């Protein structure tokens, strides 16, 4: 029997648009389907194709955008495809009619896409394009400049399943403990009652009480958002997350952080700084906990259910319970991996490799334009500082004695200061783009 909820017939934001490089193809995986994102030179919009060349199934994400035609070229044999996925060139064709007569057979599968709220959206079911045109995007009402909001965007790949991600984001009571010193304080952890306001196949709404009241909205399958009122003067703060199923044991979070106050601070804070100081730290704090929790719940569910595996006596867990009930009722408690030919492992092994679980570069930096460009600039600056130090030391050694104190001493001082800056960059800042171990016992 087919589950009532169809994961493939929904819109998903695969990336913030500002993080996509318009000059090269970008691979992404959604619901086990490998996709390629690219931007034709003749278009203002990105396109998303199935990441397979029809010739011999080579990945188009390893291709390039042709300088002359602006089309997507497969790097294996040079086949080219236009904005709609139609094959426009086969270099090996003895007769041009081979291309023109076989356009339908030689095309790449192109998926519906939209660009809205600074995000690139895709509809992963090619057979329901009319439904895609009729279905509104799951947009947040808080990501709206006309209402006075500003926001930043963030993306990271995660080492745990979609349902584990949704369950975690739907649980505000973990914040003072898992994110102590980053977004909370464990000494202030207290009862946070949650009330379910409505629960339907397409929407779950809840209210979490506490120091501040938060309205929590889950619009399946991906939008999970908090709307928080700060004080009594109309200040609003939001957390808008889009939870994407990637493959068994893998998910992606695309998040936006809207607010309608402190706008000057928003403009002055570099996006990359916000990512290394806050956003990545929050997800680091969850990563190992959730990866191992997922392993254990999968083991327990071989002979029991989450209802007996979890002990959830307080109202703080009501939204987690409501999500699990929704997942059981409308999705048969599972994601549609079999529909894309992916076998479901009975229980994933616990991954104790912290270098893999907390690999910021692979999970975030390479996907984020602000972080990867800043990292490149820092590496260039490091080379300049080292070169300047070597040049000054060698130069001072050969200048006349009469100039050595008057000219050489200031140069030596600046070179030493430059070396100190180099050391700070190398040993403090650069590692934050690659790996930061998160040990809760030390927080």
Between 318-331 and 162-169, two packed helices, what is the crossing angle to 10 degrees?
150
pLDDT tens, residue by residue, 246-285: 999 999 999 999 999 999 999 999 999 999 999 999 999 9
In contact, 45 and 39? CB cutoff 8 Å: yes
Return phi, psi of residue 304, to 5°.
Answer: -150, -165
- pLDDT of 2 reads 65
Query: pTM (2 decimals)?
Result: 0.94
Give the span between the Cα atoms of 416 and 410, in whole angstroms: 10
Can you tell me which residue has the tokens 């999500």?
323
Peptide bond into 221 cis (omega under 30): yes
Q: Which distant-in-sequence residues (6+ apart) come within 8 Å of 289 by Cβ?
A: 178
| pLDDT tens, per residue, the chain with 443 residues | 567 899 999 999 999 999 999 999 999 999 999 999 999 998 889 999 999 999 999 999 999 999 999 999 999 999 999 999 999 999 998 887 888 888 778 999 999 999 999 999 999 999 999 999 999 999 999 999 999 999 999 999 999 999 999 999 999 999 999 999 998 899 988 888 999 999 999 999 999 987 788 999 999 999 999 999 888 888 999 999 999 999 999 999 999 999 999 999 999 999 999 999 999 999 999 999 999 999 999 888 888 899 999 999 999 999 999 999 999 999 999 999 999 999 877 766 788 899 999 999 999 999 999 999 999 999 999 999 999 999 999 888 888 877 777 788 888 999 999 999 999 999 999 999 999 999 999 99
Beta bridge partners of 113: 122
Give the span between the Cα atoms of 293 and 282, in whole angstroms: 17
Considering Cα of 432, then 436, then 438, then 439, what sign does the dihedral take? Answer: negative
Within a 13 Å sphere around the CA of 12, how many CA atoms are in the beta-carbon half? 28
Q: Which distant-in-sequence residues (6+ apart) come within 8 Å of 420 by Cβ?
A: none
- pLDDT of 348 reads 63
The token pair at 235 is: 């200040």
Give the span between the Cα atoms of 243 and 254, in whole angstroms: 7
Give the span between the Cα atoms of 208 and 318, in whole angstroms: 10
3-state SS string for the chain = CCCCCCCCCCCEEEEEHHHCCCCCCEEEEECCEEEEEECCCCCCCCEEEECCCCCCCCCHHHCEECCCCCCEECCCCCCEECCCCCEEECCCCCCCHHHHHCCCCCCCCECCEEEECCEEEECCCHHHHHHHHHCCCCCCCCCCHHHCCECCEEEEEECCCHHHHHHHHCCHHHHHHHCECCCECHHHCCCCCEEEEEEECCEEEEEECCCCCEEEEEECCCEEEEEEEECCCCEEEEEEEEEEEEECCEEEEEEECCECCCHHHHHHCCHHHHHHHHHHHHHHHHHHHHHHHHHHHHHHCCCCCHHHHCCCCCHHHHHHHHHHHHHHHHHCCCCCHHHHCCCCCCCCCCCCCHHHHCEHHHHCHHHCHHHHHHHHHHHHHHHHHHHHHHHHHHHHHHCCHHHHHHHHHHHHHHHHHHHHHHHHHHHHHHHHHCECCCCHHHC
In contact, 80 and 66? CB cutoff 8 Å: yes
- pLDDT of 410 reads 87
């Amino acid at each position: 029997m087919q589950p009532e909820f169809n994961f493939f017939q929904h819109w998903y934001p695969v990336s913030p648009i500002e993080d996509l490089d318009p000059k090269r193809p970008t691979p992404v995986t959604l619901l086990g389907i490998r996709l390629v994102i690219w931007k034709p030179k003749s278009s203002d919009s990105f396109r998303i194709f199935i990441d397979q060349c029809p010739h011999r199934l080579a990945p188009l994400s390893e291709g390039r955008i042709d300088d002359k035609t602006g089309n997507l070229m497969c790097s294996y044999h040079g086949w080219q495809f236009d904005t709609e996925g139609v094959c426009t060139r086969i270099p090996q064709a003895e007769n041009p009619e081979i291309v023109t007569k076989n356009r339908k057979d030689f095309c790449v599968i192109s998926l519906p896409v939209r660009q809205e709220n600074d995000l690139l959206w895709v509809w992963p079911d090619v057979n329901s394009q009319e439904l895609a045109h009729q279905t509104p995007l799951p947009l947040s009402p808080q990501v709206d400049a006309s209402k006075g909001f500003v926001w930043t965007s963030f993306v990271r790949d995660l080492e745990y399943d979609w349902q584990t991600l949704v369950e975690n984001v739907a649980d505000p009571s973990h914040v003072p403990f898992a994110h102590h010193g980053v977004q909370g304080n464990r000494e202030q952890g207290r009862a946070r009652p949650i009330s379910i306001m409505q629960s339907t196949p397409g929407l779950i709404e809840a209210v979490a009480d506490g120091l501040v009241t938060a309205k929590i909205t889950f619009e399946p399958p991906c939008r999970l958002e908090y709307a928080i009122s700060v004080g009594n003067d109309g200040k609003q703060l939001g957390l808008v997350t889009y939870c994407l199923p990637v493959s068994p044991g893998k998910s992606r979070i695309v998040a936006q952080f809207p607010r309608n106050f402190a706008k000057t601070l928003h403009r002055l804070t570099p996006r990359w700084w916000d990512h290394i100081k806050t956003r990545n730290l929050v997800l680091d704090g969850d990563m190992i906990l959730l990866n191992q929790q997922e392993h254990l719940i999968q083991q327990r569910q071989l002979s029991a259910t989450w209802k007996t595996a979890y002990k959830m006596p307080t109202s703080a867990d009501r939204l987690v319970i409501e999500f699990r009930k929704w997942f059981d009722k409308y999705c048969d408690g599972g994601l549609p991996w079999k529909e894309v030919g992916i076998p479901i492992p009975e229980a994933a092994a616990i991954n104790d490799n912290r270098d893999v679980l907390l690999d910021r570069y692979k999970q975030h930096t390479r996907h984020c334009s602000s972080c990867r460009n800043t990292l490149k600039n820092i590496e260039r600056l490091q080379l300049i500082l080292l070169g300047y130090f070597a040049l000054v030391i060698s130069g001072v050694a050969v200048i006349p004695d009469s100039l050595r104190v008057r000219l050489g001493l200031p140069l030596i001082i600046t070179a030493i200061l430059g070396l100190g800056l180099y050391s700070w960059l190398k040993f403090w800042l650069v590692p934050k783009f690659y790996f930061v171990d998160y040990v809760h016992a030390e927080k």
